[in-house]
Structure 1
Amino acid sequence: MNAKAEVAAPLTGMRLLLAGAVLALTNFMVVLDTTIANVSVPHIAGSLGISASQGTWIITSYAVAEAVCVPLTGWLAGRFGAVRTFTFGMIGFGIFSLLCGVSTSLGMLVACRIGQGLCGGPLMPLSQTLLMRIFKPEQRAQAMGVWAMTTVTAPILGPILGGVISDTWSWHWIFFINLPVAALCAFGATRLLGSSETKTEKLRIDGVGLALMLLWIGALQIMLDLGREHDWFSDPTIVALAVIAAVGLVVFLAWELTEDQPIVDLRVFRHRGFTVAVASLSFAFATFFASAVIIPQWLQTSMGYTATYAGYATAFTGVAAVIMSPIVAKLSSKFDPRALVCFGILWLGMTSLLRVHWNSGADFWTLALPQLLQGFGMPFFFIPLTTLALGAVEPEETASAAGVMSFLRTMAGAIGTSISATMWDNSGRIARSEIVSKLNTQGTSEALAAQGFSVDQIRAVIAQLVDKEAMALATTHIFLISAVVFAFAAMIIWLTPRPTRTVEMGAAH
């Protein structure tokens, strides 16, 4: 291939505005797809004839595929060019969105979500990279600010759009709406970004590392998703998956630490500040993301909420986050980032404790208020934590460290969702057994019989009531555990040293 000049001339005028809009819209769409399906899981489960816990595979499969593809972004851009990779990723994202929408079985939908995640994974970092190329140096901070706002606002609209679309049309349209956006952005990239293409060369890829990563991550996620239904380690299949995941991880670590050009640069973990910051991020994000999946399911399956109102209740988190983000960005330069991170994560733990008092009779604002309050703490968690992690590594390692951090954050969200969904279901079963063992139905049965209910109707009413209370108890149990995990994540951040250098916005592109 003929290499193009590495330094591209920044765009100007209307061409710059349109190209910037294409990149921001792309990032918005990819982030939107991480949350738009959360409130639609009950609709999808009912349509495909699967359980709600199986429905979470739709979320975890996308997250895992996206995480796996993020470390490949640098190689893909270097081998094929950033603009070309971006364009083909967008086209693939649109095609798999179409296939998701026409899926008729869980297997087909999960497979297409994996394809969607693989194509969408590189789009977020590439949109950041291309923004830095098309804007002049003095305009980049402002451009990255707009880019960051799409990352923050997409999770707000995701649950709302998912709920409204599922209730008004059908769940299929949460995927179909990607088609015009993907077509527009692919066309725009082709027409507007050609002059911003990066140079290409025949780069070697760490094929063994990639194969090992796919092996252990795939085995681990399948084990977590299938474990509950197969009675965990009493099933030889689950045991085999656990062994494959464990052995695959050990071999992967050994290979990557000795490889000259690793698929994931694990050497950045030699910096204590980075290791501790990423550990804190992983625990906190896994807990946060799992709650964003469980709450909409509980509201719809037990509390009688429509997908639309479940979306309204959960979207309040993003509203407060948007308000606080610019404030926290300014505070980050004035206060110890460790103190800000500790405060932010403890705040998330406090909002989890507020949810411990939820019950089956809670009204809308009782459920929505903790979501709103949670949003105030999120920027304190994300923004300074990025400064701590990337400020702990060498300047030339910043891009690698950012990729590792993004990979582990996304994987933590998927793993946390799988574990929490299993714990939630198990807690519901235990709570139901305890309620039934102490239940005295005589008075209730007589009162219902007096109103003309048949014996079968009475049993159905009591069973429904017991299930509703059991799931409420299970939900509060999950949030009690979440508060403990948040407290742990907040405390370990003090093990990291204060960063010695400032990380500029966009430094990891």
Structure 2
Amino acid sequence: MEPTAKAAPFTLHQKIIIAILALLQFTVILDFIIISPLGDILMKNLNMSTANFGYAVSAYAFSAGTSGLLAAGFADKFDRKKLLIFFYTGFIIGTVLCALSTSYWMLLSARIFTGLFGGVIGSVSLAIVTDLFLIQQRGRVMGFIQMAFATSQILGIPLGLYFTNLWGWHSAFLMIAVLGVLILIAIVTKMQPVNKHLELQLDKSPFLHLWHTLSNKQYQIGFAAIALLSVGGFMLQPFGSAYLVNNIGMTHEQLPLIFFFTGISVLIIMPLVGKLSDRVSKFWLFAAGSLISIVMILIYTNINPIPLWQVVAINMVMFMGIMSRMIPATTLNTGIPEMKDRGAYMAITSSLQQIAGGIAAVCAGYIVHQSTKTSPLENYNILGYVIAAVTLCSVFLIRRVAQLVKSKVAEPVLVTE
């Protein structure tokens, strides 16, 4: 592995941005992944089949992907702070609608609405990171921001399940909405405008800007690579709680403990991977994480009923492998677009990632079968084989992305004091 240049320190404003974006990502990620641990409860309470639940998960992804594509042409035409405020406000409203749902169709509609806004937030956040941080800093930044996943596992999901046991599953979404309002206030009051990219725009038409970004052959490699990364998670996680309860014999009271320790493992690995990502070959770091995740996913999807501590141990190692892939892959991806295209590029990347994940969730809903509400899930091991094959393919695409980034000439970035 080849060492990189010494990492630059963060300014005060950059630290504030990292904190805001990490908290924001916490709510967005929690809003999406909370539906997985609630899956068994939702399928029983709202009388959903595995196929219906697959659609409930994918509804968010498909609407998020669609809105991301529609917003891509405009992503570089406005102050990124204003875009973030607009879409995050819509996301909060959608989350409240999820909490108010009383049927499968109401929940499905609310998830679509939430996805229309939530799907753009990630791309806007990535564009802000790319504008304000040097390439030598982005690994650490992504490490901190993606720690939101671990925090959602450690705090968000256990609290959500605890509130669910006390007041019903609706309360989990209300918790996210209340926290979202507080974060929105912080964005409005603490974040400075992010608008220097407006000086570099050449395309007058947003749709022409979108087309120029989509048709760039180098960009297309990045689009394909990042889209493929989401397939595994969208296939494995939606039925995770149902698999643990109905196949492995875990109880609903044990689920928070499993998610808690899984989050602890991710919380440990993410900062380490973030630092390594700024010092060693990002591709080889990604390849190592991919190998670990393939082995553990194949083990996880083929186990019989085992004690709780063994389930926890397998989950911890598996997610350490899965999440250690995300930082180097995402960091490499930010090095592909030109500054004038970053907003559109990140929006398209996020959209294709969501759409690919939505397709994967629907496919998973049809691959997995459950005869009754309490019977074991069938064909879950087939998901493991499919995910392993997709993960292997992603290694080759990320290798190509790494080659493109290495060949690019260093670009100026907009670092604020």
Cα deviations by residue, 1:221-257 (Å, 9 ceiling, x for unpaired): xxxxxxxxxxxxxxxxxxxxxxxxxxxxxxxxxxxxx
Are the structure 2 counterparts of residues 59 and 312 from structure 1 closer, same or farther at C-alpha, using a change threshold of 3 Å? farther
Cα pair 2:55 2:361 within 8 Å, conserved: no
Measure the CA separation in 2 of the matches of 1:325 and 1:12: 22
Question: What is the deviation of 1:349?
Answer: 0.8
The normalised TM-score by structure 1 is 0.65
Measure the CA separation in 1 of the matches of 2:137 and 2:366: 47
The residue number in structure 1 matching 2:5 is none
Cα pair 2:72 2:347 within 8 Å, conserved: no
Cα pair 1:337 1:384 within 8 Å, conserved: yes
1:374 aligned to which of 315, 318, 321: 318
SS at match of 1:293: coil
The residue number in structure 2 matching 1:8 is none
Cα pair 2:231 2:387 within 8 Å, conserved: no
Is 1:331 aligned to 2:236, yes or no?
A: no
The residue number in structure 2 matching 1:196 is 193
Cα pair 1:52 1:297 within 8 Å, conserved: no
The residue number in structure 2 matching 1:484 is 389
Residue type at the aligned position of 2:362: S
RMSD of equivalent CA atoms? 4.1
Instruction: Give the share of equivalent positions with the same residue, in percent.
Output: 23
Measure the CA separation in 2 of the matches of 1:481 and 1:127: 31
The residue number in structure 2 matching 1:119 is 117
Residue type at the aligned position of 1:374: M
Are the structure 2 counterparts of residues 421 and 158 from structure 1 closer, same or farther at C-alpha, using a change threshold of 3 Å? farther
Are the structure 2 counterparts of residues 316 and 71 from structure 1 closer, same or farther at C-alpha, using a change threshold of 3 Å? farther
Residue type at the aligned position of 1:265: T
- 1:69-218 equivalences in 2 (<5 Å): 69-73=67-71, 81-127=79-125, 146-193=144-191, 196=193, 198=195, 204-206=205-207
Question: What is the deviation of 1:152?
Answer: 4.7
Residue type at the aligned position of 1:326: P
2:357 aligned to which of 404, 407, 413: 413
Structure ID, larger Rg: 1
Residue type at the aligned position of 1:478: L
Q: Larger RCO: Structure 1 or Structure 2 (Cα < 8 Å, ≥ 6 residues apart)? A: 2
Residue type at the aligned position of 1:338: F
Are the structure 2 counterparts of residues 262 and 80 from structure 1 closer, same or farther at C-alpha, using a change threshold of 3 Å? closer
Cα deviations by residue, 1:254-290 (Å, 9 ceiling, x for unpaired): xxxxxx322682223x12xx65565454334312332
SS at match of 1:331: helix
Cα pair 1:42 1:55 within 8 Å, conserved: no
Cα pair 1:286 1:412 within 8 Å, conserved: yes
SS at match of 1:353: helix
**Higher alpha-carbon deviation: 151-160 or 288-297:** 151-160
The residue number in structure 1 matching 2:213 is 265
In structure 1, stretches of 5+ residues that fail to align are 1-10, 207-259, 430-462
The residue number in structure 2 matching 1:26 is 24
SS at match of 1:103: coil
SS at match of 1:37: coil
The residue number in structure 2 matching 1:299 is 244
Is 1:321 aligned to 2:260, yes or no?
A: no
Cα deviations by residue, 1:440-499 (Å, 9 ceiling, x for unpaired): xxxxxxxxxxxxxxxxxxxxxxx999x43xx3x522333233333333433565566633
Cα pair 1:130 1:196 within 8 Å, conserved: no
Residue type at the aligned position of 1:325: M
Question: What is the deviation of 1:415?
Answer: 1.5
Cα deviations by residue, 1:74-101 (Å, 9 ceiling, x for unpaired): 6556666444433333332222222211
Question: What is the deviation of 1:404?
Answer: 2.9
Are the structure 2 counterparts of residues 506 and 149 from structure 1 closer, same or farther at C-alpha, using a change threshold of 3 Å? farther
Are the structure 2 counterparts of residues 282 and 130 from structure 1 closer, same or farther at C-alpha, using a change threshold of 3 Å? closer
Measure the CA separation in 1 of the matches of 2:353 and 2:336: 17
Measure the CA separation in 1 of the matches of 2:413 and 2:241: 34
Question: What is the deviation of 1:176?
Answer: 1.0
SS at match of 1:58: helix
Residue type at the aligned position of 2:180: A
Measure the CA separation in 2 of the matches of 1:352 and 1:491: 19
Are the structure 2 counterparts of residues 155 and 314 from structure 1 closer, same or farther at C-alpha, using a change threshold of 3 Å? closer
The residue number in structure 1 matching 2:289 is 344
Cα deviations by residue, 1:142-191 (Å, 9 ceiling, x for unpaired): 77664343355335544433332322321101111133223323334444
Is 1:403 aligned to 2:308, yes or no?
A: no
Cα pair 2:74 2:344 within 8 Å, conserved: no
Measure the CA separation in 2 of the matches of 1:136 and 1:489: 26
Cα pair 2:37 2:255 within 8 Å, conserved: yes
Measure the CA separation in 1 of the matches of 2:337 and 2:75: 23
Measure the CA separation in 1 of the matches of 2:21 and 2:332: 27
Measure the CA separation in 1 of the matches of 2:226 and 2:401: 13
